[in-house]
Chains A and B, each alone.
Chain A
């Protein structure tokens, strides 16, 4: 009996340990799968079957019907669904890709280059941005305001900006970029709405993509910075001895080595942009609505149409499950190695 409690080797649990582990893991898996099961079951119900109380197993407890699925996929809502699904399909990967490109280059720069922006320069810049905003809201046409502020900035920079010698470093820049996530979207959304309205970009793909890129750049920088710092510097030094330019080094050496990290980061950001709701709610109205908005739209005045919602949620989950499977392999293979070695 003693053997039941002995483990065979490091990391392999004893038989008793294995049984207990399976119990706990199985319990948690059940906790995760049951709500999803409930979604699937609800998608096959009609309103009376939902209102009269819980029915659990199709064909045994209740008669399943394809009404909700038909309504969403081929019936009255299908045009909206297909349009919104393709909108999500366009916006999410596009913004993830752009964020990846911008963020990976910035992350590489933060790891390999040494920046020293002067504090004076930063304050004058912020001061001029404030100046331009104040003058614009006082009625000055924005082109004039921006030109004047830029001029003031350049002038001030050469005079006052030089007085303050203290400079920030790479880590400060990185911290500033990552801290952009602290901005509650609700604080940011109103000015962005007005900005896009002035530029006549409301309800276009461009508005959504631009906003998603900027709100996800911090994540890309966080993940890629840690990942790139695990790529040994010697490879790049060898290449530069051979005469390669920095761009060549980045393109031919660093990027290919960073592919696992790039793929995993892309998938991470893709999941965030796929599921995003608040910004889409404000920035899109008719043409570029995304799927999460359709889900909330099923909350009609008669009450939430649970069956339709379940269908839509399930449609949204299916591509994401594929992403989860791929992502799991990449993560355990080392996306977070850099973050983990700290």
Chain B
């Protein structure tokens, strides 16, 4: 492929990313060696191009079309942005965005606070650092995006508003990751101590992530059954015997969040254990000799050291968390109503109703949402690593 130039034989110093010149001359100049760069990377590039990019573009095409069964299979008729319009202002509007309540002082306060924070953020960028076109565009998009999301959340969370699938997914992702990280970090810090039996704990803590997600979903459905599940005596003792969390929007969402946190805390846990264990002990020993207590050690030594890892970890988990579908599907069938539906679930039921165009449109909105937050995070990470260099 003439798109890739033949790689230069500069072995990269990966820390500072300057190519170090080779210390020898032209010993390696056989044709095969010249091609090594392409040979190593082309299979992966081709595989990803054909089976990731192609479906992406084909899906975009489908989302701009209407699907119909026709003799000989199916046919797609282009309808432009119809499917997307339906999601925002059309029949699927309340399903996707939620039912907007009227503005109250509380919503104005919260929205105002977020707007002020974003304005300060933009102002600092414009005034304090060198402005570049791409940086400016990126930050404006960030401000607009976060502003609209806050507007949506603020108007659907309280009063008579109802959360749409987009907001529900955001709740699952951010609340879930928050608890997964806190729990993972606490457990990691405890398991890093030299306690006898800690390997046993580590293996056990690793287990939930290893069970097939549909299995976990059915298991939690069993556990949370208020009439037949193992916690029934406890519910009844607390007087909740007749309360069915399935019929309460936030109760159902909490149940799904509990299942999600149970299943994915091990992921945070195991990476943080690796991070904490690879820390050099000299700074900590020196600090203890100087009289620092454990909180100070954590704040000034441990936390800065694990911050880069944590951000990458949260990014990876963020990307995966947006795709949640098994728990809402199995535990509550998306109910009550549409309260626990995630975006993938929304796309799934559109697909089941043979509204393939609508399904692809929802999937694309999910892709935009994930990319939006992932880009924010990646830039945050890049800023951090630049600052610490």
**Interface residues of A, Cβ cutoff 8 Å to B:** 10-13, 17-18, 21-22, 24-25, 28-29, 31-36, 38-39, 42, 50-54, 56, 102-103, 105-106, 108-118, 121-122, 125-126, 129-130, 133-134, 137, 154, 157-158, 161, 170-171, 173, 175, 177, 179-192, 194-195, 210-211, 213-214, 217, 221-222, 229, 233, 236-237, 240-241, 243, 245-247, 250, 271, 274-275, 277-278, 291-292, 295-296, 299, 304, 306, 309, 312-313, 316-317, 320-321, 323-325, 327-328, 331-332, 334-337, 339-342
Contact A295 B360 (CB under 8 A): no
Chain A neighbourhood of B19, CB < 8 A: 114
Q: B264-283 interface mask toward A, CB cutoff 8 Å, 1 = contact, 0 = none? A: 00000011011101100100
Q: Looking at the complex, which one of B27, B43, B232, B308 makes contact with A105 (CB distance below 8 Å)?
A: B43
Contact present for A313 and B62 (CB under 8 Å): no
Given A54-B230, A157-B2, A246-B36, A35 and B220 touching (CB < 8 A)? yes
B-side contacts of A181, CB under 8 Å: 316, 319-320
Given A21-B190, A214-B48, is A113 in contact with B363 using a C-beta cutoff of 8 Å?
no
Answer whether residue B132 sits at the interface, using C-beta atoms and an 8 A cutoff: no
Q: In the bound complex, do residue A340 and residue B211 qualify as a contact, i.e. CB atoms below 8 Å apart?
A: no
Taking CB atoms, residues of chain B closer than 8 Å to A56 are: 230
Q: Does B347 contact A (CB under 8 A)?
A: yes
A72 to chain B, nearest CB (A): 14
Given contacts A32-B205, A274-B212, A327-B206, contact A211 B51 (CB under 8 A): yes
What's the nearest-Cβ distance from chain B to residue A155, in Å? Answer: 12
Nearest-neighbour CB distance to chain B for A93, whole angstroms, equals 15
In the complex, chain B residues whose CB is within 8 Å of the CB of A154: 2
A-B contacts, 26 listed (Cβ < 8 Å): A11-B192, A25-B190, A38-B223, A53-B227, A53-B232, A54-B228, A106-B41, A111-B14, A114-B19, A121-B4, A129-B57, A181-B316, A187-B56, A190-B55, A190-B359, A214-B51, A236-B11, A237-B22, A240-B28, A304-B218, A309-B218, A316-B212, A324-B203, A332-B202, A339-B309, A340-B309
Chain A residues contacting B195 (CB-CB under 8 Å) are: 13, 18, 21-22, 25
Q: Is the CB of B205 within 8 A of A29?
A: yes
Residues of A within 8 A of B58 (CB): 133, 190-191, 194
Q: A133-B54, A245-B28 are in contact. Are A187 and B347 (CB under 8 A)?
A: yes
Q: What 0/1 pattern do residues 20 to 62 of B give for CB contact below 8 A with A?
A: 1011100110101100110011011101110111111111011
The answer on a CB contact under 8 Å between A192 and B55 is: yes
- B374 interface hit (Cβ, 8 Å): yes
**Which residues of chain B are near A161, meaning CB under 8 Å?**
3
Contact A10 B285 (CB under 8 A): yes
Pairwise interchain contact A117-B3, C-beta atoms closer than 8 A: yes
A184 touches B55 (CB 8 A): no
Question: Interface stretch among B81-89, B92-100, B143-151, B321-329?
Answer: B321-329
Instruction: Report the bound CA distance from A181 to B277 in whole Å.
Output: 28
Complex contacts, B41 vs chain A, CB 8 Å = 105-106, 109-110, 113, 115, 173
Identity of the chain A residue whose Cβ is nearest the Cβ of B275 in the assembled complex: A340
Tell me which residues across on chain A come within 8 A of B14, comparing CB atoms: 111, 229
B170 interface contact, C-beta 8 A: no
- Chain B interface residue count, CB cutoff 8 Å, equals 121
Q: Which candidate, B104-112, B115-123, B171-179, B364-372, is the interface stretch facing chain A?
A: B364-372
Chain A residue nearest in CB terms to B186? A24
Q: Are B44 and A106 in contact (CB under 8 A)?
A: yes
Task: Give 1 or 0 for each of B195-217: 1 = CB within 8 Å of chain A CB.
Answer: 10001011111111111111100
B52 with A188: CB separation less than 8 A = yes
Contact A115 B7 (CB under 8 A): yes
Q: Is B215's CB under 8 angstroms from A243's CB?
A: no
CB-based contact A295/B212 at 8 Å: yes
In the A-B complex, the 6 residue pairs with the smallest Cβ-Cβ separation, listed nearest first, are: A187-B363, A121-B3, A191-B58, A109-B40, A275-B212, A106-B44
| Complex contact B378–A175 (CB within 8 A) | yes
Contact B3 A105 (CB under 8 A): no
B187 nearest in chain A by CB position: A28
Smallest CB–CB gap between A207 and chain B, Å? Answer: 11
Output the nearest chain B residue to A88 by Cβ-Cβ distance. B212
Complex: A194 Cα to B62 Cα, angstroms: 12
Instruction: Identify B33's interface contact among A245, A277, A339, CB under 8 A.
Output: A245
With contact pairs A133-B57, A245-B30 given, residues A190 and B206 touching in the complex (Cβ less than 8 Å): no
Q: Select one of A21, A171, A187, A192 contacting B193, CB under 8 A.
A: A21
Chain B residues whose C-beta falls within 8 Å of the C-beta of A341 in the assembled complex? 278
Residue of B192, B220, B274, B343 near A335 (CB, 8 A) is: B274
Chain A residues near B158 (CB-CB < 8 A): none
Q: Taking each of A35, A111, A181, A292, which has the highest tally of chain B beta carbons within 10 Å of its own beta carbon? A: A35
Flag if A38 contacts B59 (CB, 8 Å).
Answer: no
With a cutoff of 8 Å between Cβ atoms, the chain A residues found around residue B366 in the complex are 184, 186-187
B34, closest chain A residue (CB): A246
Given contacts A11-B192, A115-B7, contact A321 B210 (CB under 8 A): yes
Query: In the complex the two chains form, what is the Cα distance from A53 to B205 in whole Å?
Result: 29
Give the CA-CA distance A336 to B273 in the complex, in Å.
10
Q: A35-B219, A157-B3 are known contacts. Are A336 and B271 too (CB-CB below 8 A)?
A: yes
In the complex, the answer to whether A188 meets B212 with C-beta atoms within 8 Å is: no
In this assembly, does B191 line the interface, its C-beta being within 8 Å of a C-beta of chain A? yes
A213–B367 contact, CB under 8 A? Answer: no
Residues in B with CB closer than 8 Å to A295 are: 212, 214-215, 218
Docked-complex contact B44 and A103, CB < 8 angstroms:
yes
Check if A332 sits within 8 Å of B273, measured CB to CB: yes
Question: Would you give the shortest CB distance from B83 to chain A, in whole angstroms?
Answer: 13
